[in-house]
Structure 1
Amino acid sequence: MLSHLKRFFLAPSTGEPLAFFRIAIALLGLVQGGWLAGSITLLYGANGLVPWSISSGIVDPYMPQLSWLQPLANATGIAADTWVYVLMGVYLCSLMVLLVGKFTRYAAFIAWALQFTFINTGFMAAYGVETFMHIALFYCMLMPVGNVYAWDNFSRHTKPVANEWNTLSIRVLQLHLCVVYIASGVEKAMGIQWWNGEAIWQTLMQGQFARFDMHWMASYPLLAKVIGWSTLLLEMGYPFFIWWRRTRPYGYLAIVGMHLGIALFMGLQLFSSIMIIFNTAAFGWPYLQRAYKTIVQPLRERKRLQRAGQLATQAFWHQYE
């Protein structure tokens, strides 16, 4: 029993999935920061949508928050909103450093601490992307995400080294996702809305989520029910079909498809992206590798051969010019 557990958690493996996790999370954070760049003071400023005087009364006073900048602003004479821009700049720079894999753990810690400060202050966006970004940056602090495809370890003459810490980290991601999905599915199943299709209908009709005119679904109530049942099946069944090798690729594609549907029909692109990143790092990386070897590499080789043939033909005719 102990030998099976040890092999399950500590069998050596390479760190490519964790490197993908680091790079994808950093890129997503930079994209999110770019989207917020033009509205930073409105969302997080001292007198933004939720002023610091209000948000500081909601958050635990021992939690980091932007209102801590006020004494600094008073002492330096520099506007508090200017310091917010400075912190956002440091946050984005730390994500760029994390992306290239330089001082990975320190960059992840800075990004994690600053992201925590922002989500504790002012505009608190919903639907989970901030929470999962916070979790992802925390994992980047602790997991060996900088051992592969990183500036700190870059060398043309070295290959990724398999070790047990990579496997343990992947197992943590896998078990975390299982808990997340089954908890979400059970919570949904406790209400009637996901069984009778009402949750799907209300979501697609809400102005903040609606992206298409879906009134036609009123004529097909069974469709909303089927979508709701499918969601419950995917989430509550996630720990079962994702661990069985025969169903894992289909389960992975199904869960990715569900999040793509959320991005398309609800406009929650960032949330969908971070969930796809988690799933790909935890379970989907081997399938990406296989797709690359069977599709991308042959196409690149074909283009290389075509280019070589064109150059040979040009060289042949140049002899007679």
Structure 2
Amino acid sequence: MAAPRAANERGFARAWAAVERFAFAPASAAPLAALRIGLASVLLIQAGMVAPALLDLHGRSGILQAPLADALGRPGFVWLGWLMDRLAPLGVGEAPILVAVGASYVLALVALLVGWHARMAAAGAWFSHLMLMMTADSTNYGVDRFANIFLFYLMWMPAGAALSLDRWLGRAPVGPTSAARLALRVVQIHLCIVYLMSGLGKALGEPWWNGDSIWRTLNMPEYRQYDFTWLAYYPWLAMAAGWMVLLIECGYPVMIWPRRTRRLWVAATVALHVGIAAFMGLGVFGAIMAVLTIAAFAVRADPPGPVLSEADALRSSAAAGAP
């Protein structure tokens, strides 16, 4: 009885050690900093593009009039219409509220970009982005939801521990940490699930196998950037493009982890989103998705030399300082 029990205990110990190395081995915060800087940069560009239409998109007398905006709004969320209704008795008009929320959003993104009080900046950017997103819910698409999700993640991640004012001012932890590793794994696993579900969803339908989806996407009026009607004469090209999309997305959670295939899959994924930006006009979406994959899998997280746990590092430091 003792021998099997000991073998089971050793097996459990090895399994737990593998989990600990995967999820908690100290890692550099550089990938999280890349996520912070990349996401904030793209969202600032988007904010500059949207700013001239701020009142039209979010005002109660804009493209969607107040009754229609209220009907399409999501109950239970704090959105700008709710805020305007409560400040109206105080004589505050909708324009100052929209400008204040928009300015708060931009300032929070700038603070996030430079890493000044990074977690508070992420919280401010997330909340103001959520208000703007819920107010113009009918204009949202995937990029807005991805941006809001990863702004939320940045509230809890040590993304200000590298390439930031927080680091320069001594407010962020120095060196690799277990928190950085865990945060990075959350981002990586989230992306793997997203791409796998997207790829499987496409694979269940025939249009992505026969090229119909590629043809329709490139020639739909709302997405059409160039004349691709010539694809009708070369249907195998559209079919091959559809197969390539399926391969990249379904293969993402398998091929992105091994070192031998990681660079290839990062490059293929970035190329996919560059294509989406160039041929569908979805530049912000393409840029954000490329930033996510590059930050999660292309930026080095492992510190040079052997990886030590934080407890081992503390013991080593204590031993080095002992007489």
Say yes or no: TM over 0.5. yes
Query: Relative to 1, partners in 2 of residues 1:107 and 1:155: Cα closer, same or farther, differing over 3 Å?
Result: closer
Q: In the alignment, what sits opposite 2:9?
A: none
Q: Give the TM-score of the pair, scaled to structure 2.
A: 0.85
CA apart distance, 1:72? 4.0
| Aligned positions, number | 286
Further displaced range: 50-59 or 191-200: 50-59
1:257 to 268, 271, 275: 271
- The 2-side partners of 1:211 and 1:8 are apart by 43
CA apart distance, 1:73? 4.0
- The 1-side partners of 2:230 and 2:178 are apart by 53
CA apart distance, 1:155? 5.5
Identity %: 37
- The 2-side partners of 1:145 and 1:205 are apart by 41
Instruction: Determine if the alignment matches structure 1 residue 66 to structure 2 residue 80.
Output: yes
Secondary structure of 1:286 counterpart: coil
Secondary structure of 2:135 counterpart: coil
Q: Per-residue displacement from partner, 1:117-166 (whole Å, max 9, x unpaired)?
A: 1111136334311001101110110111011111122069x995111111
CA apart distance, 1:62? 1.6
Q: Per-residue displacement from partner, 1:41-88 (whole Å, max 9, x unpaired)?
A: 111111222233223233333211111122344223232132111110
Secondary structure of 2:218 counterpart: helix
Instruction: Determine if the alignment matches structure 1 residue 23 to structure 2 residue 7.
Output: no
User: Is the contact between residue 15 and residue 144 of structure 1 (CA under 8 Å) also seen in structure 2?
Assistant: yes
- CA RMSD of the aligned region, Å? 1.8
Q: In the alignment, what sits opposite 1:207?
A: 221
Q: In the alignment, what sits opposite 2:297?
A: 283
Secondary structure of 1:25 counterpart: helix
Q: In the alignment, what sits opposite 1:91?
A: 105
User: Is the contact between residue 238 and residue 251 of structure 1 (CA under 8 Å) also seen in structure 2?
Assistant: yes
Secondary structure of 1:256 counterpart: helix
Secondary structure of 2:138 counterpart: coil
Q: Per-residue displacement from partner, 1:232-258 (whole Å, max 9, x unpaired)?
A: 111111111111221111111111111
Further displaced range: 266-275 or 51-60: 51-60
Further displaced range: 73-82 or 168-177: 73-82
2:164 to 138, 150, 153: 150
Q: In the alignment, what sits opposite 1:271?
A: 285
Query: Relative to 1, partners in 2 of residues 1:155 and 1:120: Cα closer, same or farther, differing over 3 Å?
Result: closer
Instruction: Determine if the alignment matches structure 1 residue 102 to structure 2 residue 116.
Output: yes
2:48 to 31, 34, 39: 34
Which blocks of at least 5 consecutive residues in structure 2 are unaligned? 1-14, 302-323
Q: Give the TM-score of the pair, scaled to structure 1.
A: 0.85
Q: In the alignment, what sits opposite 2:187?
A: 173
Which is bigger in relative contact order (C-alpha 8 A, separation at least 6)? 2
Q: Per-residue displacement from partner, 1:153-195 (whole Å, max 9, x unpaired)?
A: 2069x99511111111111111001100010011111111111
Secondary structure of 1:32 counterpart: helix
